[in-house]
Structure 1
Amino acid sequence: METPETKPEQPGEFENALREAAASGPSDDLRVGDRLKGRIVLVGDKESFLDFGGRSEAVIATRELKDDKGNLRHGVGDLLVATVESVDTQVVVTLGRRSGPLGKEILKERFESRVPVEGVVKATNKGGFEVSVGGRRAFCPYSQIDLVYCDKPESYIGQKLSFLIVRIDGGARNVVLSRRAILEEERKKKAEETEARLREGEEFEGIVSRVLPFGAFIDIGGVEGLLHVSEFSHGHVSEAASVLSSGQQVRVKVVGIESGKKGRRISLSMKALEPDPWIAAAEGLKPGAVVKGKVARLADFGAFIEIAPGIDGLLHVSEIALGRIKHPKEVLTAGEMIDVKILEVDVEKKRIALSHKALEADSRRTDERPRYAESRPRKKEPESRRPADQPGAPTESLDTLLARLKEKYEDDTLG
């Protein structure tokens, strides 16, 4: 028979087996007090594992496999009959016939060896959570449930989580847990892996840890970087919270690493992973074209108009209206939509000159001038000044006109 002496435990083998057994979850068919048969597959310093044909392996305290002198009575390959002690999140068994909550000896061993336990968050109370660990009631403070501030305690209720026992007293009546301790350890290991490949241009899958007005902090694997609001997208983003939320998964690119007196600053970008909109602009935006855009922001010298996602054009104050204005805010407001005419496009410098005044001038030439000509009153000429070929003009012959002129001359002479 193969014994523990001939098959020594490999470093990390016990912890890995524990995590795998816990992740698999207990058998749906088992209840506390049931008897089962299982074969020993691993013997650890504190705990060992039995394969009983379920979805996961059962855990048993290694001390139960030893005699009074501490020598192993059972080794790998031995078949045992044991009693189920707990099925909360993993199957825990004992060679005894007692049933009920997870034994206090096992809890103490987990505490001393810093081996995680699995628990189900049952409820919230003053200052923390009530957690069931192997049928025993335990307490986890709010500050120890996560790496970040717990602003929604109710979201944890019903979850099965891993905890470290950080305090146990009163015969295991008072058990205090911490999930944060496990997360910090995991974060430390991830940080070492991240540091090994951290450089400008590298891409990471990250988790939003905090959202602030100017941007968001992203955990890229145990290391945090700043994703400024200007790096969210090529399009305009006014508020970070309108795009991201805590816990959201994002893909980012490292665009800067700076060291200073306050430590290292890592700059991240989502925009850098998007196609450059100016490439398409080179083909689609031509001088003379009329487009609709949104007033993105106002300045003393003009207004920036977003005519496509990530493409702003400058509407100079002199090109806003036909009349003279001192500041764009006299006629424009941020967020409104207006029509503008493209005057110039410089793709290399990423500049576009726009005009709204040109559209007003075009409109006046095509619309107002005809209306003005039609509505202008015409001066009525006296009949005597009308040309002979004009309607209403005299129709006398040349002889008649000469006779009348002769009469008029003679009258003036005699008189």
Structure 2
Amino acid sequence: MRYQDIQWEDEDSGFTDDKSTKKAEVQDEVSFEDLLLQDASQDDEADIRVGRQVTGTISTISSHSDTVLVVLDALHTAVMDKNQIINDKGEMEFHVGDKITAYVITKNDDEILLSRRMGQSKNPLEDLLMARNSQLPVKGKVTGENKGGFEVTIMGKRAFCPVSQIDSKFVANKAEYMGQEFNFLIEKVEEGGRNVVVSRSKLLKREGEAKITELESRVDQDLILDGVVREVKDFGAFVDLGGFDGFMHVSEMSYARVNRASDYVQKGDKVRVKLLKIETTDDGKKRL
């Protein structure tokens, strides 16, 4: 029910007895409650995907099991193990009504499972294995380089990232990544955590595909996007839009005639572009 559909009593209709007044008040209260519920149900579904960090409110801490229920929004309630909210002294760090932030470990039709311990665990090896099995992104810092790639510190452990896996683009200068913090996917955990291999490019590809899927649903909305020119050809330029590329044809660069794209843009230029269309190639890839 919408606000304009609520029936108000005519002021000139005369006095009503107390029972009628109370009845009307109850009806109004129910009407507003229904209105709020309807508005909540019409909200866009929350972005609750595996690997995402989400924030919710603890609604239940079971005294009969190890289950903690966390309300994420009007449509989603997640489950967390009780040991996630207990410190080293056995004390509860969170209580019913508290806000809590955690990672989505698994999501299916029946259950959303959360974990707080990605990156702040008492058992880093266990978290590395969980991140690998669930393909969760984990933050790491590039601390060194070697012949084949980079040394990355993740959860206090040293990991290796091949140079081909540090970015979605060709790496011309390894020094620009030194000291930087990025999110990575755990590819391999062996020898009790002494051999850890990570990838950033696969995560960027996954995130880019998710963004393209979201853009497809809005392609008719005259979307304006910010990007950086990644490569320039005579016939156009490839623009990095944040994990995925779009192609800007030379004929779309200006109202005036542009003979060569290099006359108008250079590699590294920041540009603002309009999304015209998203095509699917013969091999199933998306092209902007």
**TM-score greater than 0.5 by the shorter chain:** yes
Report if aligned partners of 2:70, 2:78 keep a CA contact under 8 Å in 1.
no
What are the Cα deviations for residues 166-224 of structure 1, in whole angstroms up to 9, with x where unaligned?
0111111110001122112211211111111224x823304234322322123557775
SS of the residue corresponding to residue 211 of structure 2 reads helix
C-alpha separation between the residues in 1 aligned to 2:262 and 2:186? 36
Q: 2:224 aligns with which of 199, 204, 207?
A: 204
- Please give the per-residue CA displacement for 1:317-375, whole angstroms capped at 9, x wherever unaligned: xxxxxxxxxxxxxxxxxxxxxxxxxxxxxxxxxxxxxxxxxxxxxxxxxxxxxxxxxxx
Bigger radius of gyration? 1
RMSD: 4.2
Q: What is the rounded CA distance, in whole Å, between the counterparts of 2:273 and 2:261 in structure 1?
A: 15
1:82-161 maps to which residues of 2 (within 5 A)? 92-94=120-122, 103-161=124-182
Q: For the Cα contact (< 8 Å) 2:61–2:69, is it kept in 1?
A: yes
Over 3 Å counting, the alpha-carbon distance change for 1:187 and 1:257 in structure 2 is closer
Match of 1:7 in 2: 69
State how far apart, in whole Å, the 1-side matches of 2:203 and 2:150 are: 17
What one-letter code is carried by the residue in structure 2 that aligns with 1:2?
I
1:253 counterpart residue number: 274
For residue 141 of structure 2, give the secondary structure of its aligned residue in structure 1. strand
List runs of 5+ in structure 2 lacking aligned partners: 1-59, 81-87, 95-99, 106-112
TM-score under structure 2 length normalisation = 0.55
Distance in 1 (alpha carbons) for counterparts of 2:78 and 2:266: 38
Q: Summarize the Cα distance change of 1:170–1:250 in structure 2 as closer, same or farther, 3 Å threshold.
A: same
Aligned partner of 1:189 in structure 2 is 210
Deviation for aligned residue 1:159: 0.9
Residue in structure 2 matched with residue 39 of structure 1 by the alignment: 93
Aligned residues with identical type, % of pairs: 35
**Could you say if the C-alpha distance between residues 7 and 266 of structure 1 is closer, same or farther in structure 2, counting changes exceeding 3 Å?**
closer
Give yes or no for contact 2:190–2:196 (8 Å, CA) kept in 1.
Answer: yes
What is aligned with 1:165? 186
Task: Look up the SS of the partner of 2:128 in the other structure.
Answer: helix
Contact 2:68 2:79 (C-alpha < 8 Å) held by counterparts: no
TM-score (norm 1): 0.40
Distance 1:257 1:130, change over 3 A: closer
Q: Deviations over 1:267-301 (max 9, x none)?
A: 8xxxxxxxxxxxxxxxxxxxxxxxxxxxxxxxxxx
Aligned to 2:49: none
Do 2:216 and 2:278's aligned partners in 1 also have CA atoms closer than 8 Å? Answer: no
Question: Would you say the 8 A contact 1:215–1:226 is kept in 2?
Answer: yes
